[in-house]
Chain A
Amino acid sequence: MTELNPYIPFLSEITEVIKHTEIEYTFRMTFNGDVKPGQFFEVSLPKFGEAPISVSGIGDGTVDLTIRKVGKVTDEIFENYVGDTLFLRGPYGNGFDIANYKGKEILLVAGGTGLSPVKGIVDYFSAHPEDCKGFTLLVGFKSPKDMLFKKDFEIWKKNINVIMTVDYPDEEYDGNCGLVTQYIPELMIKGLTDAVGIVVGPPIMMKCTISDLLAKGFKEENLWISQERKMCCGIGKCGHCKIDDTYICLDGPVFNYTKGKFLKD
């Protein structure tokens, strides 16, 4: 049998566009097939190129891609999504395995768009809170204007413990302020020996959060992170994502911290 050409994307329909901020929209795309939170697709725009984008939600015959408008490919997606379709290839990467977290006490710490790759985990445990011992979502955004998934937060708040904070509040804002790390000391974690910590966000945020969680008593083997690197193929060929003997696109982007701590660019 001839193998499928992995570089040729397929057409996927945009069934819905959810606008979070001026520059961040979720595109709900038709997709039938196995996919996990934390995996990613290459959004492939003829003439403009490709951009790896995490799966931010999994529906019945759909996947959500939450895209931040930052450059050549992503600008074009925002300007011309009226086309109703996008070319995709994937899903790629290992993704998060929900089974690793079932029955555990879970703390998920996300910074900004870092919430996208883990949103599927939050969705799952918000819908099935009985599948874990407790779920705390600690999220930080730059400012109230940068908040993503506002509607989802309304649902999550009913089922799981949610702490949201912003770095730079504005006049109307009356919630938590400051970095996510400020909220770690006060968190009540019952069984630190098996509590799970999942941390995704900008590199500095991940570094500080992990160090605080370790100081709090989390075990290294119970911590999980997701990494972003430049990617031109998603399938272990182009080399750009490689760190040491690890290909982020194949072996990651999700890593247990016992492995993730050795990733040195």
Chain B
Amino acid sequence: MGYQTTTEKMNAIFSDLSKDYLIYAPKRFVGDGTFTSIDTIRYGEITDLAEIEFAEKSDYSFKEVLLPISETLFYFTENEMKEADAPKKGAIVFLRSCDLHGLKRMDTIYLENGAVDTYYKRLRDHTKFILMGCENSFENCFCVSMGTQQSKDYDAYLKVDGDTVLVDSRWDYLDTALTDATPAPVIADSVTTNDTVVTIPETVPQTLFDAPFWEEYGNRCIACGRCNFVCPTCTCFTMQDIFYTDNGKAGERRRVWASCHVDGYTDMAGGHAFRNDKGQRMRFKVLHKVNDYKRRFGTHMCIGCGRCDDVCPEYISFANCINKLNTLVNDAAKEEN
């Protein structure tokens, strides 16, 4: 149901909600970027709508709310394990359409691919999602190519315009809280075109896995993993045990974000590793995002937010890579005929 209300009213509602929820939204952190003169926009807790950065795309996605960078799974003593407590409060997350599609990718891995992940589920079950519209596409966005520019899977859509707030609610609590507000037709802002357009090859034959095409990336990529860390659909982790004192028996097991671009991702006993070449790691990532994930789960993993292109210190463009790969696949098919 759509409403028109005021920022004051909305802030009061969020203030009430904050008894049961932590509210996360993209915020501007001044001078916090790669260079001190650059700001970063990343997720943080907010108490007032004015703190939210609506005008620009966030450098990092919302995923750390559901998948913390480092998450304690359980505490142990020598013979006992105790599951880490879930946060006492639920979460409310402000995010854009592409990211809301990213949530589905996370659900697929954490709720459907094999056993249900206890830690993800208990956060997910207590999280509400508030859509932020996109009036314009941002740099490197290609959601339209990925079909993620709109989403209906939100608990509420919210748009701030001066002191006015437009809300489309699918959440009983908000409907009740907004009974006195003016009903209004509210349609989420979404883009219809992006400057960046990608064409994804239908299938990428295995014969192109070692094509010289990937070597360029091998020469440029420095295996920093930033593209994975900003990606809302990268969900890999590594286990880490830490203990409180050297000789003590007590400690905890955590999981921490992992990156398939970074050394060590495939290391096995005896020093054996796969994909030592960084170009091959690029191939692995790219094809996961737009090829093999779809074969397994039916949709592409990539949601087109373009953050990997925003962040890469070597100016490697994932979007360009897909387009060049498409040409390569077409050329290879022509050669065969």
Q: Which residues on A are within 8 Å of B, measured CB to CB?
A: 3, 5-9, 11, 45-50, 68, 70-71, 74, 85, 87, 203, 228-230, 232-233, 235-240, 242, 244-245, 247, 249-250, 262, 264-265
Contact = CB atoms under 8 A, between A and B. Distances in A.
A125 B223 CA distance: 48
Interface stretch (B32-40, B112-120, B182-190, B191-199): B112-120
Contact of A239 (B241, B260, B272, B280): B260
A244 B113 CA distance: 15
Contacts of B171: none
A247 B112 CA distance: 13
B78 A46 contact: yes
Contact of B114 (A70, A85, A235): A235
A237 B235 contact: yes
Contacts of B243: 47
Given A71-B269, A245-B295, A236 B83 contact: no
B138 interface: no
A232 B253 CA distance: 12
Interface of B: 73-74, 76-79, 81, 83, 109-110, 113-119, 121, 206, 209, 235-241, 243, 249, 251, 253, 255, 258, 260, 265-270, 272, 274-275, 280, 284, 287-288, 292-293, 295-296
A236 B81 contact: no
15 contacts: A6-B115, A7-B73, A8-B74, A9-B81, A49-B239, A71-B269, A87-B81, A229-B266, A230-B266, A235-B117, A237-B110, A237-B114, A238-B237, A239-B260, A240-B236
A232 B239 CA distance: 6
Contact of A240 (B81, B121, B266): B266
B118 A3 contact: yes
B265 A240 contact: yes
B209 A264 contact: yes
Contacts of B270: 70
Contacts, number: 115
A5 B118 contact: yes
Contacts of B109: 236-237
B260 A249 contact: no
Closest 7 CB pairs of A and B: A236-B114, A239-B236, A245-B292, A265-B274, A46-B76, A236-B113, A245-B296
A265 B113 contact: no
Nearest to A241: B266
A202 to B, nearest CB: 9
Which of B110, B241, B295 has the most C-beta atoms of chain A within 10 angstroms of its own C-beta? Answer: B241
A152 B312 CA distance: 56
A46 B117 contact: no
Given A242-B288, A264-B206, A232 B237 contact: yes
Which of B118, B206, B209, B251 has most A Cβ within 10 Å?
B118
Contacts of B284: 265
Contact of B238 (A238, A245, A247): A238
